[in-house]
Amino acid sequence: MLYIGVDLGTSAVKLLLMDEKGEIKKIVSREYPLYFPKPGWSEQNPEDWYNGFADGVKELMAGQDAFAVDGISFSGQMHGLVLLDEQDQVIRPAILWNDGRTQDECDYLNQEIGREKISAWTANMALTGFTAPKILWVRRNEPENFSRIAKIMLPKDYLAYRLSGVHCTDMSDASGMLLLDVEHRTWSQEMIGLCGIRRDQLAKLYESYQPVGTLQPEIAKQLGLPDTVKVVAGGGDQAVAAVGTGTVGHGMCNISLGTSGVVFVASRDFAQAPDNALHAFAHADGRYHYMGVTLAAAASNKWWMDEIIRTKNYPEEQKGITELGANHVYYLPYLMGERSPHNDPEARGTFIGMTMDTTREEMTQAVLEGVAFSLRDSFETVKKMGVSVTRSRINGGGAKSPLWCRIMANVLNIRIDKINSEEGPAFGAAILAAVGCGKYASVEEACAKLIKVVQTTEPDPYLVEKYNDRYAVYRSIYPAVKDLFPKMK
């Protein structure tokens, strides 16, 4: 049998075709526009998502046996607001995760209602990217549109609805709406009331691996697929990417070194992070996960290489870095503010410790180490929550650097594993489709059979001790300079 994994991203939709042994048969993608109608706003037309998906399916299935397709599932950009009216027509363009118009609404939730209350109801604090503040914004600024709302959906769930006719969402993606009681995996009645909406305006909740229905006959005909194909709920992009790396169960970890850096730790139990230092979300495997985010991870290295020292030869720049654990230069990777653990949008990138003999290589090394230290902040919070992590999988563009992987292993004092697949979200979605179709008994079983470690970087006890000392210094820098950041405007 064949399974289709769909990764609905911000700039493009990627479709992956996988067989039941986990072999990737084909990958295609379709781009679509992103609109910025005002400074700080970010929107898309949901119809563009569907059209890109439908066109991509035709290329994906060219030369393949369409009747072998058993199921389809999704990974999706999180937090976006899709509004449908009584006729299931889109009311306004979708407001995306990277839209920043809702600062006033977040201040209202965190300060007037109270961060402690919001966290008690949803396990998280309000951030501008989340969905609930967007609903409040529409209520305040577009009352006519607000009055027409029949269903509130997330981006990938709009695709699932178009395919199946079912208004659905899953626990992992819903966790990022600030509307879900994450611990009890149900909608928060308190947040529903606060937003001025009704429970029936929200989609039905499923686990990520559960089927929600099958393809509607007219859609199946359009796509050239049988109408027996199961539509499986899918999940938010980080949770499904974690499935694609086998980061499921308890204590499993994945580090994503993409534009942003993500520490993702799977847990069988629910716990709320102290001071909202981490996101506490439901996981796509039916349990929970904690997620820390460094907003400028590989982006910090790209900025340093491309804009400052002006080179595209990243490996060549790292060749001269030979002495780890001894650099006297420190770097705070806060080029875009910072998420975890500080939740400080005014934080800024900072170099400190340079002297007349500081070299280009030491500055480059400081960037790589600064990102690793920032991710360690999230690891330290995970430890406080009682979850032991002894090794982590790693992916993303930054993971291609053996030096950066070595730094990570020693800063975090864990084994760093590379696996046999780099497709992350789309591959994870295909795995969820296979589980939803009954090919595997659980997400954990599927990951154990389909995903293998191919390379491991071990920590060096000598370097671990060196980096422990340097991390102690790193941790003292932000508290010392944070009051300066608001003045730097």
Binding-site residues sit at: 78-79
Helix (H, G, I), strand (E, B) or coil at 3: strand
What gap in Å lies between CA 179 and CA 187, rounded to an integer? 6
Q: What is the CA radius of gyration of the chain?
A: 22
**Rounded Cα distance, 132 and 138, in Å:** 10
Closest CA to 245 of 456, 434, 425: 425
What number of residues does the chain have? 489
Q: Is the peptide bond before 155 cis (omega within 30 degrees of 0)?
A: no
Instruction: Please state, in angstroms and rounded to a whole number, the distance separating the CA atoms of residues 362 and 368.
Output: 10
Q: What are phi and psi of 336, to 5 degrees?
A: -120, 35
> Contact at 8 Å (CB) between 232 and 209?
yes
**Cα 318 from Cα 403, distance rounded (Å):** 7
Distance in angstroms (rounded) separating the CA atoms of residues 426 and 8: 9
Cis peptide before 341 (omega within 30 of 0): yes
Q: How far apart are CA 153 and CA 337, in angstroms?
A: 28
Residue 57 exposure: Cα atoms within 13 Å on the Cβ side: 23
The torsion defined by the Cα of 86, 92, 93 and 97, in degrees rounded to 10, comes to -80
First-residue to last-residue Cα distance in the chain: 57
Cβ pair 289, 242 in contact under 8 A:
yes
CA 135 vs CA 81, 139, 322, 326: distances in Å:
8, 6, 51, 50
DSSP string, 344-374: BTT---EEE---TT--HHHHHHHHHHHHHHH
Task: Please indicate whether residue 237 is annotated as part of the active site.
Answer: yes
Instruction: Assign 375 to helix, strand or coil.
Output: helix
Q: For residue 131, give the 3-state DSSP assignment.
A: helix
Q: Which of 99, 157, 237, 377 is catalytic?
A: 237
Q: CB within 8 A of 487, min separation 6: which ones? A: none
The DSSP result for 270-302, as a single string, is --PPGGG-SEEEE-TTSSEEEEEEESSSHHHHH
**229 CB-side CA count, 13 A:** 30
Binding-site positions for substrate: 78-79
Question: Which residues are marked as active site?
Answer: 237
